[in-house]
Structure formats: structure tokens, C-alpha cells
Structure 1
């Protein structure tokens, strides 16, 4: 695939810009797991890039460290390259460690791996429950557009149980240890989610109390569809959208142009390019390409073009005529470009929680928040939480001199909000700096 189709694995963008090949699973470390520290808190250790691990705390702080070398164990702030002063020391027995000198011991979570089927495809899943025998709520974790293995990389499979909530995680079709072909067919992905929920119920037995879906990014389109096909108690959508795929791309370009303070005239030109790119995405033919090129080419050297990003327009902008048909075949993932989720969202009966980032460039949240507010005012059980200065993934960030963002941490209160909603507890007056709107 051409280089402009590659993105960083950390992006997790909501639609089609995931790499066509999964990020290679790192060399497995026996220290992946949840640890109880001597100070009474917990620390999650997850797989990260090759030769590295990532720690996360319940308050949203996070850092990465090397497993070997002169700097082994020395943590770097968030996703930056700067030291943060924390040190993680791993031991040889795989069940203990030290974090800033505080001893930590592995929490014996209840883990049950399973192979299950959905529409003739075998999928790999895992139920993770807190220790003990008590009934607990269970969250079935859906996916964004990534090709990576959720079993390898999804830290919520342990972070939720650390707070007394079970989690069912699975590799979606065409990724990780699951069979089938990668797809962005929302209906198919919803049927897979329903099959996953049935497995979670079966594996958990009497320990399963409330149960529901959590859909991140692209999963925000899938979770409400699945909720209409299954008996669930709640639906959580995190950094997802209540607009169509095409509208997401347009909103993302418009926000980027506004954030870079381009004139109304230049923004109008950019949106004309977006319209032509969207038309090419809907109908990837040579005739549609020629119409696109006729709009793009006169402006391709203007300064504002570098800020015409969007969710997928940036991918189309550099395409040459001879690349169009091979590219269309390569990324034919059955994406429902014009699917409007609003009617589906309005039919979901269980309570919904939508968690949004105010500065999300990949999935701009303003129109989604407005639409959800209209449904809430019409009596639908929809709560929203909008985090200021948070981008896709609900990450606080810093902007470098080159204008690029680097994630630092998830906000204080983010995990607590997910846990309270899964439990069915009344939401607190505040979760960190999030702006809450309740039914």
C-alpha cells in the first residue's frame, strides 16, 4: 500500500485510515497484568511497542518504559519522549514489581479465554472478572477501526476489573487471533458484538449482573446497532459520532481549517475539495477521479492545502489517476459511507452514555453533542460527558512546535465515569473537568 495510507498505530481514528496490516504484537512479557501496590492503589502494565511496556494508573496518568538497555524501567511522560521521574522495576517471577519503590503484587483476576462463532467465523475472546464470587456488571468491549489485536492491546480488560467491573474483550474478525476478513460493515460488526455478549453471559454465569456494550470511535456506530439486537442494560460510546461517515470527514476538515485560522474564502475552497474527495470515495471510478482532480489541481500548491486533513480526505488528496482502481480494491472494506446513526440511536431503550473530547480532530464532537442534546430533550435516556482539551481517545495532549499533538494522559475521572455508568449508579455531580449533561 502507498505510504500515504499508513498511519501511526496510536491514532485509532474512527474510520478508514487504519493501516491495512495489524501492528505486530510485541514480544510477550509475563508481566502484562494488574498489580496492587503497597500504597493501596493499582497499576496496569500493558503491551506497547517492541521492547517496551506501558503503565497506567486509575487516575489516567500513563507512561512507557524500555524493558532492556541503559534506561530500562525509566518511564517517559505519556506518549512523549521526556522522562517523567517514575521508575518501574520488574522482577524475575512475573508476579511482582516495584513502582517508584512501592512493592506491587499481581491481582489474581479471573480470566477465561474462549473461541466462539459469529456468522460462520471463529473469533477469539476473553472474559476478565474481579477476584471473588460476587455478581458484577460486565462491559463488552467493541473496537475502533484498528487492525490490531484487542486481546493484546486493550488495557480496559484489566482496568475495569480493577474497579470491580468485568470486561469481555475479543479480536474482531480479520484481526489478531480471530478468523475471517477485516471489515467495516457496521451490521456485520454488530452481529459479532451480539455473539460476544452471548459468550460473556455464558462464561460469566451467575457472576454476570448488568451487562452492556462499550463502543469506542468506529464502535460508536456499531454499539447502538448491536443494542437493538441484544438484551443489554446500558450502552457506552466513547469518542464516537452521531453523524455519518461522510459528515465526519467534512466536520474534521472544517475544524482543522478553523483551528488554523484560515479565511472564509480558503475554507470554502477546502470544502469544495472535500466534496470532490467524498464523491470519489463513494464512487471510485476514473470519471469520478477526473472530476476530483479538476477541483484539486488548481489549488494543490496553495498554503491552506496542508491543513485539508479530515478523516480520509488527506488519504485521497495525493492519489494519482493510475492508483485509483487498485486502491479502491485494496480498501474495499464495505464502509457504509452514508449511514446516518441518529435514527438507530433514538431507538435504543437502555440508558446511553456518550463520552466526547472537545478538541477531537478525528471525530469532531460539536455536531454529535448537539444531536444528542436534542434527543435528550425529547426524553431519551442519553447522558453526555464532554472533556475540555481532550482529543480522540479522550487524551489530554500538548502541541509541539511543529503543530503536532502528543498525548499525555487520560483525564482525571474518566475511568470512574465508565465504572459508575456500568454499575448503574447515579452519576456524580462531577468527574474531573468534564461537562456533564444528564437525562
Structure 2
């Protein structure tokens, strides 16, 4: 934390987002240091330089907040790190010590980070007031196709509690409360005596030296090195995007400010489009979606019923033919080579192949297990994949693991299972599968 840093000055935008500074110190990184940098940040660099500038203009990485985005002398700023009170700036270009360079930070990105960081303090402050939970992790990504921030707590929330917390944060935003900076110097206590009373503050770990506190009256006080807004009203809007259990607590994904507004606007357009396709107002989407699910389920049940009837007829046909040919004729040949239709079958010798295009692995397993017990055959059920087939093979007598090994050699089958039934997949097409049936069986 650098108390006099320019990045702590509120309202940086427009002309304030650029400034000419001097290069005070320059260091070219060793190959090992470049490897460590690439391991941490990614990318590829033929050379990498590290500079110290005359003023603390760019926010460094810290406290769950990424460093500023921007440029120095027209070159992309790769990273900013604080080390013992000094800021080091990483660039891919060679600058001279003492050179005057134009520095620019991305004002939108700085504002997005400040909006989200201030909103996180409000949320965590409300959690501290109403729950015995601690904030155990914080991370922001205010860029890309999916901007968000995540906050971890060592406890869990109900759906109703999350709804109340979200409403509470937005209520604090509407009150437009001041967001204040307070500095404790040296080894002072974790409470501060002031004219308007005594305050204590949240902190995730023991702190030494000067401490910067971000205070929102009657909402939160927290030790923090990040950038913030001046008033809560500047945040605009706050939204919880998702909730999941994480370790011994939970992880919340959320968004605030302009990024949240844009995300909510996009979501509303999608919902409106979906409602329009259903010829219903967007407020009735839950009911319309439930009705749609019920219709899809009914269609699936109807399809399964037709398939079950078809398989029963096939089962009856095979058993009848086997009975007729039991005396003296060992060869079984049913159907024609497999083809890309919803249902086809092909039998030769003691094997019967069924192609069931619309079924997933669970349905294939169910059908295979049923028919392998009623037919004196080894059954291979095939389902459709983007490339090749899903495969479930079962038998009442044969060890299908040996058959799986044969398919692995001839069809690049990959899978496993027990003696009675195996499952997996192969990437071959109909021509290769039919050739396998003709040649091997």
C-alpha cells in the first residue's frame, strides 16, 4: 500500500488517465525470470524489461484485484507489482533510464474494478452483520466475455438469504453513502478513536505497518489496498450471478456497476426473445418453460414406448427364427448392413448389432441388459455420436471383454466393463462397422 499513490485519487478519468513520467530504474529480466513470468501470466516474450517510474500511477496487483491495464510509451503494460513500497512495471520494449514516457491507464477498466470492489465490501459487510461467516477469498475478472467477481465464505446461505443480501446491497447503493479512506499508521490498534466514535475493521490476515481502511458508514469497515468509488450510488446496480458449495463453505459469483447493467440487459434481451418464441410475456417464462419441459418429456416417453414395442417385435422375430433353424443350421443372418436411420439391425453368426440413433448410453445399457438375457446371442447396441458410435455390448454366456479387445484392435474401440457387459465408443463410420461385421463375424 502506497498512501500517496496517484491510483488512490478518486475519479481518475479523461485527461487524468494519462501522465508523462520519468523512467527511474530499468532491469532486464533473466531467462529464468522470464520463464517464471510466463508461468504466472502466460504469453511468449523474446525479451522482458522491468521499470520503476517517478510516480505511483498504475495500480499493482493485490488483494484479489488485478493490476491496471494500460500502456507506457505506446507499449502494452503487461503487469504491475509492488515490492517493498516500490512499483515495478513489466514491458516487452526497451526504454532508457531517465527517459520521459507517456503513461496511460484504461479508465473504464479502473472504474469497473472500483465499482465491483466497492460492491463486494458492501456485500461482505452485510454478511458480517447478519451471519457468523468470514470472507475467505476474493477474485475479480472485469474483462473478457464473462466478467465477474467471486467471493468465498466459510458458511452457506439459503436461496432466501441470498435474495435478501442482494436486495440489501442495492438498498445501500441507493442510499448513496460515502466511501471513506482511513489510515492507521504503524502499530496502532485495530480500532480507531475518532470524534464520531470508535470503529473496528475486517481483515483476512495479520497486518503490519500502515493500514488503509475502507469505511462505508453503518455498513462495513475493512482493511483494503484496492481502488474504490467515492459514494455507493456510483455503483448503480449489483447482481448475484451464481452460488455453489466450495470446500467447507460456498463461492458466490457476482457483478456490479456498468458490467452488471450490461449483463442484465443482455439477459433481459435473451429472456424477451425466448418469451417471444413461446408467444408469452417474459413474466410467464417459468410457467411456459415448465409446460415445454412436460411436452418434451411426453414426447420422449412416447418415443421410448415405440422403441420398446419395436425391440419386443425384433426379440420375438429372432427367437422364432432361431427356433426354426435350431436343427442343423447354425448361421443366423438378420436384417441388412447398418445404415444411418433411427433404427436398424444386422445379425451374423452369434452376434446381433442394433443401431439406435436417438438413445444415450444409459438407454443403450438398459436395452442391452434386457435383450442379452432373453436372446442366446451376443448383443452390440450402437448409439449416435458426432463422430462414430457409442457402444454397449452384452452377452449371457460370452466374455465381452475379449470382444471389446477385438473391437479395440479392428475399430479403435475405447472403453471397459465387466464380463457380462462392456461400454465405450469408437470413431469409425457405418462402412467400417459393416465391414467389421462381414469380415470378423
Return the TM-score normalized by structure 1.
Answer: 0.24
Return the TM-score normalized by structure 2.
Answer: 0.24
Query: Which is greater in Rg?
Result: 2
Question: Relative contact order: is structure 1 or structure 2 higher (C-alpha 8 Å, sep ≥ 6)?
Answer: 1
